[in-house]
Amino acid sequence: MRSIQRRLSMGLVAVLVVCGLSLILVSQWLVDHALRGYLRGGLQTESENLLIALVRGPNGLQLDEQRLNPAYQRPFSGRYFEIHTGASRWRSRSLWDSTLAVPSSEGLAGRLVDGPDEQRLLVYRANYQRFGQSLTLIVAQDYNPLLASFNRMLRLGAVLGLVALVIILLLQRLTVRNALRPLETVRRQIVQLQQGQRAQLDNQVPLELEPLVSQINHLLRHTEDNLKRARHGIGNLGHALKTPLAVLVSMSARDELAQHPDVQQTLREQLDYIRQRLEHELRRARLAGDQLPGVYLDCDAELPTLCSLVRHLHGAGLFIDCQVPVGLKLPWDREDMLELLGNLLDNAGKWAHAQIRLVIQIKADHYLITVDDDGPGVPATRREEILNRGARLDEHITGHGLGLSIVRDIVDSCGGTLTLAESSLGGLHIQIILPLKKRSPLLASTPSV
Amino acid sequence: MRLLLVEDSVALAEEVQAGLIRQGYAVDWLADGRDAAFQGAVEPYDLIVLDLGLPGRSGLDVLREWRSQSLLTPVLVLTARDGWAERIDGLKAGADDYLTKPFHPEELFLRIQALLRRSRGLANQPSLRVAGLSLDEARQCVQQGDAIIELTAAEFRLLRYFMLHPGQILSKTHLGEHLYDGESERDSNVIEVHVNHLRKKLGRDIIETRRGQGYRFGTSV
């Protein structure tokens, strides 16, 4: 996934560089063309002046030095001429001992010509008739100084262009960041959603994001409704099955049946078996697992009631040491988490003599939940066994195995791990690691925007 | 002891009601949540057994309404929903105990016994012990010193009520309200007769008569 910011910057840089380069090239060509056109006019005038300076002298044609531009007298001055007649040729003194290449055709030569003193010359050729003689006039002018200042201008232009590019990029970054702020807000809200700090995305978003946000909210509501409906259905099913079951259990205790102890015993066993399976499957079916973001268990609000419930079930003398960070919210479904913690505490309470310790810690990438009791503990060889469905180490204490196997179902559905060990309090130590929900790296890291 | 049983399943209600009557409780039975909300708040029940899945109104709603009207009667919630979240919701709504279906009748009776004693501020002990008497609620007899004294059902009901309210002045009307369900005839003479039977079995001083006020149990010992 590339960020929109980077993509926009890359596009803008590419467009600006291409435009800038072609602007420079085109403007170079245009200015060069205009300059040459302008200079051509000057050179033509020069050639006409030279033609006027040619006078009829005693020995035929003669060049009147008085009428010439003084620049033609100074060596390498940058202004040169040559005049070819049929018999003789004149060269300007400024040429010193070099000669000018004669352009093949009249007018301004298309290319620059090497001149004396490493000069680059613009050469103009004109053909005239004067006093009955045909003349070829070649006038040249050094183009280097103009070219140099022209290039200097171009370089300056390029530097200015670069500065402009940098400023434009910064401004664009600023604009994009402002324009993308709603996206960033939504991104942050999705992180909060996954951490269980909110249940819905904010509706106040720009028009472009509105369908996305409302769709996500709709999906959230839909999933939540589905879960509620499923749970309601499971609850109703449980109610519908358990009430007649309660009647049967109650009837199995009747005095009339006491006269047939074997029948009563079988009836009780089978009813008990139905009850266990029913409870186990219904509890499993009720688990939400990982499907719903935006849900959480508010520990401050729920744990005290849970602890008092466990104390109520296992005697008021039971001390429950709750070491949970203030304001902790476990980002999983409330019912799942209550079921998990309730079964853990209930199991510990069944075995504990006097004390249970519940510790919840937030680590870098997981939540660590440990429950200790000061009961008899479980030998290492049998620890695996009690996690299996329905297995009970002590038949007199009901539901031991069932509770822990539900705990394991919940831990599995959250992608966590469950381990048993010996507790420092003397009993069983249950450790549960619930990993934080996986999310895309873009969501996890602080973005570059 | 007069109980209200709110349960919509006729078969289960009949079963539970019969069991409770055998245990010496006067039982009123209602199947609809709306009726229960009204009658539970008006009649002087000693305990309410409330099913949560009711027609008319949900049991939790009814319970919340009672508690908001500062009705202090202990409520035992009876439900098929056995999740911890539901138990916590039940406790938060004001339930005093929570029993999930299906249950063994004995367990229900024991929970009711314990809840009644707890609501009277008596310690959780295997038998009810007040004023030198020890009441065996399972066998419906009473132990005084070393002697075990058999009781009739009516005497047992009366004695249990006295033992749960020691030292209090209880009028005949009050006793009638708490010992008979809403449909029986209440004849104060019957109570007088049973009090006299108890005095014969347990000694004259065990129940004191306060003229114009009623009876007082367990003050002389």
Segment A357-406, tens digit of pLDDT: 999 998 888 899 999 988 887 777 777 777 665 544 444 444 445 677 78
Strand arrangement of the beta sheet that strand B141-144 belongs to: B128-130, B133-136, B141-144, B147-150
Question: Can you tell me the mean pLDDT for A135-147?
Answer: 89
Q: In terms of pLDDT, which residue wins out, B218 or B108?
A: B108
Q: What does residue A167 show for φ and ψ, rounded to 5 degrees?
A: -60, -45
> CB-based contact (8 Å) between A248 and chain B?
yes
User: pLDDT tens, A231-265?
Assistant: 888 888 888 888 888 888 888 888 788 888 888 88
Does residue B83 belong to the interface with chain A, where contact is any CB pair within 8 Å? yes
**Predicted complex ipTM exceeds 0.90:** no
Residue with the larger pLDDT of the pair A20 and B121: A20
Query: B128-217: what CATH class?
Result: mainly alpha
Distance, in angstroms, between B114 CA and closest chain A CA?
A: 12
Nearest CA-CA partner of A295 in B49, B111, B85, B168? B85
Contacts A306 to B, Cβ<8 Å: 84, 88
Q: Does A243 touch chain B if contact means CB atoms closer than 8 Å?
A: yes
CATH fold label, A4-148:
Beta-Lactamase (3.30.450)
Mean pLDDT for A96-122 is 84
Decide if A309 and B87 are in contact by the 8 Å CB cutoff. Answer: yes
**Nearest residue of chain B to residue A255 (CA atoms):** B19
pLDDT digits (tens, 9 = 90+) for A394-438: 444 444 456 777 888 888 888 888 888 888 888 889 999 988 765
**Is A343–B104 a contact, with Cβ atoms under 8 angstroms apart?**
no
Label the pairing between strands A113-114 and A366-373: unpaired
Chain B residue with the nearest C-alpha to that of A313: B97
Fold of A295-439: Heat Shock Protein 90 (3.30.565)
How much of chain A exceeds pLDDT 90, in percent? 9
Quick check: B26 contacting A, CB < 8 Å? Answer: no
CATH T-level topology, domain B2-119 = Rossmann fold (3.40.50)
Chain B residues closer than 8 Å to A342 by CB? 84, 87-88
- CB pairs < 8 Å spanning A and B: 89
Partners of B11 on chain A (C-beta within 8 Å) are 243-244, 247
| Partner residue opposite A242 with nearest CB, options B87, B102, B104 | B102
Q: Any idea which residue has 């140099």 for tokens? A: A148
Tell me if B101 and A245 make a contact (CB, 8 A cut-off).
yes
Q: Return the minimum-mean-pLDDT range out of A138-142, A281-285, B217-221.
A: B217-221
Rounded Cα gap, residues A320 and A355, in angstroms: 6
Q: Give the gap in angstroms from C-alpha A341 to the nearest C-alpha of chain B.
A: 9
Determine the distance in angstroms separating the CA of B187 from the nearest CA of chain A, rounded to an integer: 32
What mean pLDDT value characterizes chain B? 85
- What was the pLDDT predicted at B220? 58
Res. A444 pLDDT band, cuts 50 70 90: very low
Please give the sequence-ordered ranges of beta strands (E in DSSP) within B16-140, or none if there are none.
Answer: 26-30, 47-51, 75-79, 97-100, 128-130, 133-136
> Measured between alpha carbons, how far is A8 from A177 in angstroms, rounded to an integer?
11
pLDDT of residue A69: 83
Q: Which of residues 273-332 of A touch B (CB under 8 A)?
A: 275, 279, 283, 286, 302, 305-306, 308-309, 312
Return the ∠ at Cα A136 (arms to A133 and A140), rounded to 5°.
150
Residue A242 has its nearest CB partner, among B88, B101, B104, at B101
d(CA A173, CA A403): 56
SS3 of chain A: helix, strand, coil, percent, to 5 = 55, 20, 25
pLDDT value, residue A272: 86
d(CA B52, CA B196): 42
Using CB atoms, pick whichever of B11, B85, B105 lies closest to residue A338: B85
pLDDT of residue A77: 87
B12 CB near a chain A CB, below 8 Å? yes
